[in-house]
């Protein structure tokens, strides 16, 4: 089959690779219908997250059709149209039993690579480094999905492929971000980042009862989406002397009740702190440029909640003292999409949530390296490039 392979830092190539097969009895094989770029792929592409190997198939946000099932698969059948949350759960361990699928104890084939960094391994995820399991990714014609009955969700009639696609990662990550913000009716929620995840966090915050949602970004086309499609108020941080000051004034001196950080380790910014982060990251003295996260910590009101859904590695200059003295609650996780899938499908079916506007570029798999160029450099208004293998 054809697949998009990581061949080195900033080097992606479409290559012919072996077809996946059923390996374990609960596996299903999917013919990938749609698969999309994700901001977290850029950390692999740029070499900021280690343990990629030349030839690895990337991609972790996808939907498709079941073409083969393992002998222990009970719920799914050939021909089912499904969407798969990025992190894989087993459905049996303590974590899955408590809806913490991304922390699954039984889906990581290479825990020895991750345990030294995290203490305990997470669940596995396709296309996202060997430290996260090393499963082949979704930017391919076919993909093997372990524990298909747990991880692949049938897409109901009436939901399009493009709507279903983003229920794999962008929507559940944003939805979790809003869920973690513990929103009370009328709350003010500030969201850093107007990429797909940030936009979905904003929409989810509204669905959960936020009174005001304020979006922070620098790209005019993304701020326009936040305003026009989602209904958020916006701050262009490149046009602002101080985002923290603006948020304080927006909220009558109180500060946002909750801040959702949906930017991650490659944040852009302004000022000397940003320059410092860029230099340290370039010299591999830290993995993260944390300007958005630090700003969110400063901006959130006393006793408020900080929800972190951006992807981070190892960050220095983390202002723990501010968190402690302001009594801030932090919640963060990789997304357990299985937990949110029934609610997300319901929102889409009711017409309350339509993530298909995130698609700005539709391409074949052969064009996917170009898609990543557009996505990485944010050219041509690229919010998400979607590939149809």
Partner 1 sequence: MSVADKAKGALSKVRPGSLQASRTLPIRADKDAIERVWTSRTAEIFDGIPMATATTRYGQTVRDWGLAVTVDLTLQEAVPDVAANTLAGKAVRRLKALVETGEAPTTDRNPSGRAA
Which one, 139 or 203, has the nearer CB to partner 1?
Answer: 139
Options 30-38, 134-142, 175-183, 262-270: segment touching partner 1 (CB under 8 A): 134-142
77 contacts partner 1 (rule: CB under 8 A): no
Detail the DSSP E strand segments found in 286-364. 305-308, 329-332, 361-364
29 contacts partner 1 (rule: CB under 8 A): no
Length in residues, the chain: 389
217 contacts partner 1 (rule: CB under 8 A): no
CB of 26 to partner 1, least distance (A): 6
Candidates 32, 38, 45, 140; binder of partner 1 (CB under 8 A) is 140
Burial class for 7, CB neighbours closer than 10 Å (0-12, 13-18, 19+): middle
Question: Using DSSP, how many helices (H) and how many strands (E) does the chain show?
Answer: 14, 16
369 contacts partner 1 (rule: CB under 8 A): no
158 contacts partner 1 (rule: CB under 8 A): no
CB of 300 to partner 1, least distance (A): 34
249 contacts partner 1 (rule: CB under 8 A): no
Candidates 54, 157, 241, 377; binder of partner 1 (CB under 8 A) is 54
Which one, 56 or 257, has the nearer CB to partner 1?
Answer: 56
Options 84-92, 223-231, 283-291, 318-326: segment touching partner 1 (CB under 8 A): 84-92
Rounded Cα distance, 379 and 362, in Å: 14
Which one, 3 or 311, has the nearer CB to partner 1?
Answer: 3
Burial class for 275, CB neighbours closer than 10 Å (0-12, 13-18, 19+): exposed
Applying CB under 8 A, what is the total number of residues that bind partner 1? 47
Closest CA to 192 of 78, 116, 291: 291
DSSP reduced 3-state for 63: strand
CB of 145 to partner 1, least distance (A): 12
First to last CA, the chain: 10
Candidates 8, 10, 11, 21; binder of partner 1 (CB under 8 A) is 21
Say what angle helices 291-299 and 272-282 make with each other, to 10 degrees: 140
Candidates 25, 47, 231, 319; binder of partner 1 (CB under 8 A) is 25
134 contacts partner 1 (rule: CB under 8 A): yes
Candidates 31, 46, 65, 93; binder of partner 1 (CB under 8 A) is 93
Rounded Cα distance, 359 and 357, in Å: 5
**What six digits make up the tokens of 261?**
């950080």
DSSP reduced 3-state for 31: strand
Q: Which residues contact 377 (CB under 8 A, 6 or more apart)?
A: none
Candidates 9, 23, 275, 322; binder of partner 1 (CB under 8 A) is 23
3 contacts partner 1 (rule: CB under 8 A): yes
13 contacts partner 1 (rule: CB under 8 A): yes
Q: Cα-flanking dihedrals φ and ψ of residue 29, to 5°?
A: -105, 135
Burial class for 343, CB neighbours closer than 10 Å (0-12, 13-18, 19+): middle
- 183-212: which residues touch partner 1 (CB under 8 A)? none
111 contacts partner 1 (rule: CB under 8 A): yes
Q: Which positions touch partner 1 (CB under 8 A)?
A: 1, 3, 5, 7, 13, 15-21, 23-26, 53-57, 72, 90-94, 97, 105-112, 115-116, 121, 124, 133-136, 140, 146-147
């Amino acid at each position: 089959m054809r697949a998009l392979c990581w061949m080195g830092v900033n080097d992606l190539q479409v290559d012919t690779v072996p077809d996946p097969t059923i390996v374990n009895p609960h596996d299903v094989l999917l013919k990938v219908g749609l698969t999309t770029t994700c901001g977290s792929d850029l950390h692999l592409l740029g070499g900021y997250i280690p343990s990629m190997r030349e030839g690895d198939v990337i991609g972790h946000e996808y939907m498709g059709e079941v073409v083969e099932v393992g002998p222990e698969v009970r719920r799914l059948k050939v021909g089912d149209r499904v969407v798969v949350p990025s992190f894989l759960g087993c459905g049996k361990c303590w974590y899955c039993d408590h809806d913490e699928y991304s922390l699954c104890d039984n889906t990581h084939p290479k825990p020895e690579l991750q345990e030294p960094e995290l203490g305990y391994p997470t669940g596995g995820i396709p296309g996202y480094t060997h430290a996260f399991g090393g499963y082949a990714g979704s930017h391919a014609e076919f993909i093997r999905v372990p524990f298909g009955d747990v991880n692949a969700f049938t897409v109901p009639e009436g939901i399009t492929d493009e709507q279903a696609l983003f229920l794999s990662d962008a929507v559940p990550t944003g939805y979790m971000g809003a869920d973690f913000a513990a929103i009370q009716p009328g709350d003010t929620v500030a969201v850093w980042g107007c990429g797909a995840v940030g936009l979905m966090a904003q929409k989810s915050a509204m669905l959960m009862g936020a009174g005001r949602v304020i979006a922070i970004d620098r790209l005019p086309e993304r701020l326009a989406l936040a305003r026009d499609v989602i209904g958020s108020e916006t701050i262009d941080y490149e046009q602002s002397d101080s985002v923290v000051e603006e948020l304080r004034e927006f909220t009558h001196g109180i500060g946002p009740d909750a801040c959702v950080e949906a930017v991650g380790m490659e944040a852009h910014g302004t000022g000397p702190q940003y320059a410092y982060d860029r230099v340290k990251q370039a010299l591999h003295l830290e993995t993260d440029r944390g300007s958005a996260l630090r700003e969110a910590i400063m901006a959130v009101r006393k006793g408020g909640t900080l929800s972190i859904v951006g992807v981070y590695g190892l960050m220095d200059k983390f202002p723990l003292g501010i968190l402690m003295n302001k009594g801030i609650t932090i919640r963060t996780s990789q997304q357990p999409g299985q937990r949110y899938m029934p609610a997300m499908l319901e929102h889409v079916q009711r017409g309350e949530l339509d993530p298909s506007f995130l698609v700005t570029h539709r391409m074949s798999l052969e064009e996917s390296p170009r898609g990543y160029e557009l996505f990485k450099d944010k050219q041509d208004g690229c919010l998400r490039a979607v590939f149809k293998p």
